[in-house]
């Protein structure tokens, strides 16, 4: 059974959530559909094609040993985990 079907079958026994006043009721199926839209699609983020390391000191060691320059992507808020 696909995960999405399992989730739906579990939710199907419950009433749709009637949430805070301004937000429309969401059925379990609608949550599942929203989830599939929210999660990144394969290939959506081009930067994922690069094998980013997260330890600068280890990157220095690796670059020195391999005879390569270093590419550092530095953001205020981790570029792989913030925005």
Partner 1 sequence: MANEDYVTVSGDDWYQRRRQDKEGEFFRKVADQGPRKGQGGSTRQGIYCFTADGELLMYKNAGQNADVMREVLEQGLAKWKRLPESRRKPGAVEVGDHGTVDRRYVRIPPRGGLIAVVYTRILDKDSKGEICKGTCPTLGGERAARDHLWLTSDEVRSFIPADAKAGSTFAIPSAIAERILRFHLVDNTRGEPPAWRREDIRKSEMKLTVTAMTESECRLQFSGQALLADASDAASSKRGYEVALAGELRYDRKAGNFTRFDITAVGEHWGEGAFTRGARPGRQLLGVAIELAGDKPADRIPPQFAREWNAYFGKN
Tell me which residues touch partner 1 (CB under 8 A). 6-7, 10-11, 14, 17, 19-23, 26, 28, 30-35, 37-40, 44-47, 49-57, 59-83
SS3 label, residue 41: coil
CB of 15 to partner 1, least distance (A): 10
Q: Which two tokens stand for residue 58?
A: 């280890």
Least Cβ distance, residue 73 to partner 1 (angstroms): 4
Smallest gap from residue 6 Cβ to partner 1 (A): 8
Residue 75 burial class via C-beta count within 10 angstroms: exposed 0-12, middle 13-18, buried 19 and up: exposed
């Amino acid at each position: 059974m696909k995960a999405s079907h399992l989730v739906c079958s579990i939710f199907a026994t419950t009433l749709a959530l009637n949430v805070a006043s301004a937000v429309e009721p969401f059925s379990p199926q609608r949550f599942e559909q929203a989830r599939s839209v929210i999660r990144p699609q394969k290939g959506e983020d081009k930067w994922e094609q690069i094998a980013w390391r997260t330890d600068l000191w280890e990157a220095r060691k690796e670059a020195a040993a391999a005879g390569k320059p270093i590419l550092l992507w530095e953001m205020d808020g981790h570029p792989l985990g913030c925005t």
